[in-house]
Every structure is written in structure tokens, then in C-alpha cells.
Chain A
Amino acid sequence: MADLYFTEEHEWLLVDGNSAKIGITAYAAEQLGDIVFVELPDAGRTVKPQDEVAVVESVKTASEILAPVSGEITGNNGALDDAPETVNDDAMGQGWFFTMKLSNKDELSALMDQAAYDAFVKEL
């Protein structure tokens, strides 16, 4: 059974065992407007929390995406190269960014669950 976590930077993590799939939330995608490009990390890269791993661009902004937890990048969503609009259309599904292998699952405890994230967004 996979668990869904959220960060204050509006990323989601779908964690299954030691692996996770990561993207940005529908709320973030809406705030960014029409997304025109996503720069994704290559597999094999080792990251720690707060490392810049991806960049999401709309026509007039560019936002850095930080690694939510430690681990190694294991793959990315190459389909976004040709269809970045998928992030706007289906942020929590087809619009995922990359997958990673977690090196320290304890870090997940610092993240939010769905209810906490919903409350967090409501406050903004």
C-alpha cells in the first residue's frame, strides 16, 4: 500500500517501500500558470533534502524544485519534454516528475499527509 506525503514547497511523494514517485501538487501547478517546460534530473544522481533537482518554467517564471528527501534518482518522466502541459492537466498523476530510491525513510516523518497539506494550503 503506497502512502502519499506532501512538502511545504508543494511537492507530493507517493512512497511504496523504499521507492517514491515525486511531482508538484495541483495547487502549485495552478499557481504557476501554463507550464511550458520541466527540466528533470537524470537517473543515477544522489540528492539530499533542499538540493535543486528540477526546474518548472511558465512563460515568465522559473521555479526550482528541491529534493524533498535523501536518496538516488532512479528515473524521470520523459513524456513531459514534449507535453509539459500534462503537469497542468494531471499534476498528481501523469504529470509526475521523477522517481527516487529513499536512503533515509525517517525523513518522511517531517512531511505532511493529505489532511495536513489541505489545511496548509487553506492558510495561504
Chain B
Amino acid sequence: MAVHTQDRATRPAATDGTQRLSPALLQDEGLLFEIGETSKCGVDLEALREQPNRLGDLARTSSTGLAGLSEPETLRHYVRLSQRNYAIDLGLYPLGSCTMKHNPRLNEKMARLPGFADLHPLQPVSTVQGALGLMDELSHWLLQITGMDVVALSPKAGAQGEMCGMLCIRAAIEAKGELASRNRVLVPESAHGTNPATAAACGFVIDQIPANAEGRVDMDAFEQKLGPDVAAIMLTNPNTCGLFEPDIKRIADLIHQHGGYFYCDGANLNAIMGKCRVRDLGVDAMHINLHKTFSTPHGGGGPGAGPTVLSSRLARFAPLPFVTHEPGSSFGLVEQGEQDGAADAFGRMCAFHGQMGMFVRALAYMMSHGGDGLRQVSEDAVLNANYLLARLKDVFSPAFTGTCMHEALFDDSFLEGTGVSTLDFSKALIDEGYHPMTMYFPLVVHGAMLVEPTETESLQSLDQFADAMLSLAQAAKDQEHDRFTQAPRTAPSLRLDETQAARHPILRWTADVD
């Protein structure tokens, strides 16, 4: 690690001998619109033979103003920009709750096979049997892993999977004629923000349940909230504190006894695959983040995929479309409400059939690991998190006692008296060569730091990270303030003014903006 002696924030390109990054490796790069020209084009297109006009009087007369670049300029622009990003391929990415694990390149190669990538969603079903077969295989794996009855593949992302599950629950309640009276959804305080947002978008009223001192659902509070108007509980398990809910069976039984449903947020499935199946925990619906558990790339913020598994109680409400397969015959695709088996489908989550590119990647990932490897994934993910917890717990302040699942949660009490905040500490981690951990989430812990190493980190990598964390904690105790409040000092940008961005939003380039 580099040693930094500046007492004020400076760009890495400064000439005071402290820089880490050569300008040769971190080139200045303007905006596309500053370097490109509307007359420039990096694609050779077939010459126009004629210019017919069947557009009526609706032909464009104005310029779009799009900036163009030649191919070499394009490569430089984007490669230069790429070098301003941290990435899994550069180092450990300890974002708790986000599961930043290695993205196998085989999966990228498979998704680009022309039989998947160059296939239209509305081609005749007879010409896409391999694609439907792949969806059927993916479903089989997901159902084996979870023990559930059916899976709706189409949801486009985790939050859409939640929506899919909650709309199934809504449809089931409606089918029982209880929609008017059963409208309250219980959501733990520690939940991801998507849970209450989804329940609200589905027309439910949200009722928060508190966590107990051990970071689990407060069972007394939960039981007091049960009643004939409870539609469902939305619970993440393992929860966002990185802990398995030991009372989960009892929670499921109680919610079922009261006529409600159990929605499980599957964000943390990567910790329990092959160790237990959510069906055996009493779950009615759960989305699976293919981009977390099954390692389809995060891509700087999507695209994800959120297939949703359903219990027998909800199966018939699954949305359109779905693949059918009678043994010995070809695959079919049910896309219309009037087709067989679709009478109770609650609707449609997206155009076409979902994130096929992600289905291919996820299946390649699952086949590569196999049943044995997926169990090993969970075990190593939990082992790695506990190893970090063990190495850090005497200096940092674990939010709860005991071991954790796939992520370790700390509060900020170890920083008491240092004048360093969770934010400062996290930003200082950048100067040590790491992406910050998830901070200030979950909300139930003060100054939370949530660390998820994932199973794809080696022991050496974990030790290096732990050493960096411990040395920073020592620096905080040694009152090395600038190392924190001025951090990051070595990044392509220093701390950015988010207040100005929000007060006076500039959301696009225009010719008159600097």
C-alpha cells in the first residue's frame, strides 16, 4: 500500500511524489459530446440506393445533435473511462447484501451462442425448441434447489420478482374473496427498501416489525401483529444482518394459521443452497437474484434477473408466459390467457419471456458447480465471512454476538471517540485498494458496516483485506484524521459534491454547460 503524506486533498496526478497512478494509465477524458462530431461516423453502412418516403409529413427535419466517433476514438473513450471503475476482477468487493462474486467467462461465451443471442422471442415455437429446453432445464435446477412447485422465469430483476410474488399472493387472496379485508403486510425494520416499496405498489399497507437484540425478528412483536387482515410477511432469510432466522418455521406456521402468506426475499439464497430448501421452511414465494446467487454480471447496475419460485398454494396464479412440456413431446409456450392452464395467471410482468441472456449464464453457472459445488459455494461463502469476522472481531464491533452466515455486520461503536464516521472509514478503504463495504444498511444498526466477501475470495485475499481493515482501525484510534476525512486521496475523483448535484440537477450535456 502506498503511503500518503499530503495534508490536503490533491489529484493523483500531482507532482509532489505521492501519486500512485501514472497519467499514462489514467488519461484525462472529456465527454463524448466534447470529443465527437455530428459528422463523424465509426460504422460503414451500405450506400443508400434510393430515398423513398412513406412517412407522410412526419419525416424528421431537425438534427438530433448526436456526437459521433471513429472506431479507434471510440475504443479510447470507453477504455479510458473504464479505468475509472473498480471491479471484481480488480479486487475483493465487500459489498454486503450485493454478493459481488467472480463472473465466470464461460457464461459470457455461452450467452453469445447464436442459437440464444440471435434468436427472436416471437419466432415460431417449432424453431426455438432449444431455447425453451434451456428455460425448462433452468427451472428444474431452481426448483430442485428450493424445493418449490413452479417458477415464473420472466421477472426482469429482483425487485420485479418481489412484485411477481406479491401479485401472486394478491391474486390468491382475491380468489378467496378476501381482498377488501386482508391488506396488511408485515415487513421487518431491517428489510431492503424494495420490500415495503413493492408491497405498497401492490396496494398493501405496510406494518413494520422490530428486530430483537439478537438481530432477529422480535417474535413477541410479530405475534401481536397477527390478525385476520394480515396478507403476508416479507422476510429476508438469511436476514440483512447476515443471520439465519431460527424461528422461521414458527413464523411460517403462524402466518399460515392466520390465513396469510410467507414471501421470502431470496437475496441471500447464496448462503443456504444445498444446506436447506426454502420449501421446508414454509415459504410460499421467493425471488432469486440470478445476478447474485448465480453470478450473472452486475454490469455497473444491471441487467439482473429475478425468477420467482412459488409453492403449490400460489402456483396457478403465476404470470404469463410459461414453458410447458409433456414427456415425449416438444416444448410449448403459453403466452395468452385463453390458452390451457393460464386461466388464473395474474397478468404479465414484461414483454416477451424474460432475461434469456441471464438464463443461459445462470444455467452454465449451475451446471459448472453441480449439486455438490452449489453446496460448497454456500459453505465457503459462510466460511469466508466467519473467517473475516474472527479476524476482525476483537478490534471492530460486531453488531451481534456469535457466528454469522455469508456476511458480517459491524456497528460503529469501535470508532467512538475517534471522530471518524462509518462514511469516512469506508472512503479510507478506497485508498487501501478496496471498494467500501455496504454502509448504513441495515438501518437497525448504528453506523452499520456490512461485509460480504463471497466464496470466490482466496484465503490470501481475505487476510490482505483483514490486514488493511485492522490497520485502518488502528489509524482511526491514532487520530490520523486526514487519512479519513480527506479520503479518498488516490481515486480518479475526490469526494463529490452530492448536495450541489441534487440542488441544481444537471442530468444531460448541453452545448452551454461547461
CA A85 to CA B502, docked complex, whole Å: 11
Q: Size of chain A's interface in residues, with CB distance under 8 A?
A: 8
Task: Give the distance in Å from the alpha carbon of A100 to the alpha carbon of B498 in the complex.
Answer: 33
Against A, the Cβ 8 Å flags (1 = close, 0 = not) of B483-501 are 0000000000000001100
Which B462-514 residues have C-beta < 8 A from chain A?
A: 498-499, 502-503
Which residue on B lies nearest to A83, using beta carbons?
B503
Bound Cα distance A85, B497 (Å): 14
Q: Is A57 an interface residue (CB 8 A)?
A: yes
Closest Cβ–Cβ distance, residue B135 to chain A (whole Å): 40
What residues of chain A lie closer than 8 Å to B498, measured between beta carbons? 59
Distance in angstroms between the alpha carbons of A36 and B499 in the assembled complex: 6
In the complex, what residue of chain B is closest to A35 when comparing beta carbons? B503
A37 to B499, CA, bound (A): 10
CA–CA, A58 and B498, complex, Å: 10
Q: Is A84 among interface residues, defined by CB-CB distance under 8 A?
A: yes
A34 contacts the other chain (CB 8 A): yes
Instruction: Give chain B residues whose Cβ lies under 8 Å from the Cβ of A34.
Output: 499, 503
User: What residues of chain B lie closer than 8 Å to A85, measured between beta carbons?
Assistant: 503
Distance (Å) between the CB of A7 and the closest chain B CB?
24
Q: Which residues from 395 to 427 on chain B have a C-beta closer than 8 Å to any C-beta of chain A?
A: none
Report A-chain residues with C-beta under 8 Å of the C-beta of B502. Answer: 36-37, 57, 59
Main secondary structure, interface of B, reads: helix
Q: How far is the CA of A59 from the CA of B499 in the complex (A)?
A: 6
Bound form: Cα–Cα A58–B501 in Å: 11
Set of chain B residues within 8 Å of A84, measured between Cβ atoms: 503
Nearest residue in B to A84 (C-beta to C-beta)? B503
A58 proximity list for chain B (CB < 8 A) = 499
Q: In this complex, what residue of A is CB-closest to B499?
A: A34
- List residues of chain B with CB within 8 A of the CB of A36: 499, 502-503
Min Cβ gap A111→B in Å is 29
Nearest A residue to B498, CB-CB = A59
CB B179 to nearest CB in A, in angstroms, measures 26
Residues of A with C-beta under 8 A to B499: 34, 36, 58-59
Please provide the chain A residues from 84 to 116 with a CB less than 8 Å away from any CB of chain B in the complex.
Answer: 84-85
CB distance from A35 to the nearest CB of B (A): 8
Contacts of B503 in A (CB 8 A): 34, 36-37, 84-85
Nearest CB of A to B495, in Å: 12
**Shortest distance from the beta carbon of B58 to any chain A beta carbon, whole Å:** 36
Give the residue among A34, A37, A58 with the most B Cβ atoms within 10 A: A34
CB contact list, A45-73 vs B, under 8 A: 57-59
User: Shortest Cβ distance from A14 into chain B, in angstroms?
Assistant: 26
Q: How far is the CA of A37 from the CA of B498 in the complex (A)?
A: 13
- Alpha-carbon distance between A58 and B503 when the two chains are bound, in angstroms: 9
Q: How far does the alpha carbon of A1 sit from the alpha carbon of B498 in the complex, in Å?
A: 42
Indicate the member of A57, A58, A59, A85 with the most B CB atoms within 10 Å: A59
Q: How far is the CB of B505 from chain A (nearest CB, A)?
A: 9
The CA of A46 and the CA of B278, in the complex, are separated in Å by 50
A44-B436 Cα distance, complex, nearest whole Å: 48
In whole Å, how far is A47's beta carbon from the nearest beta carbon of chain B? 22
Minimum CB–CB distance from B132 to chain A (whole Å) comes to: 45
Residues of B within 8 A of A37 (CB): 502-503
CA distance A112 to B249 in the complex (A): 50
A57 to B498, CA, bound (A): 13
| A59 nearest in chain B by CB position | B498
User: Please, which residue of chain A has its CB at the minimum distance from the CB of B502?
Assistant: A36
- A window 23-43: CB within 8 A of B: 34, 36-37
Per the 8 Å Cβ criterion, residues 253-271 of B in contact with A are none
A-B complex: 5 closest residue pairs judged by Cβ atoms: A36-B502, A34-B499, A36-B503, A59-B498, A59-B502
11 contacts between A and B (CB under 8 A): A34-B503, A36-B499, A36-B502, A37-B502, A37-B503, A57-B502, A59-B498, A59-B499, A59-B502, A84-B503, A85-B503
Chain A contact residues, CB within 8 Å of chain B:
34, 36-37, 57-59, 84-85
Give 9 A-B pairs besides A36-B502, A37-B502, A85-B503 with Cβ atoms closer than 8 angstroms: A34-B499, A36-B499, A36-B503, A37-B503, A57-B502, A58-B499, A59-B499, A59-B502, A84-B503
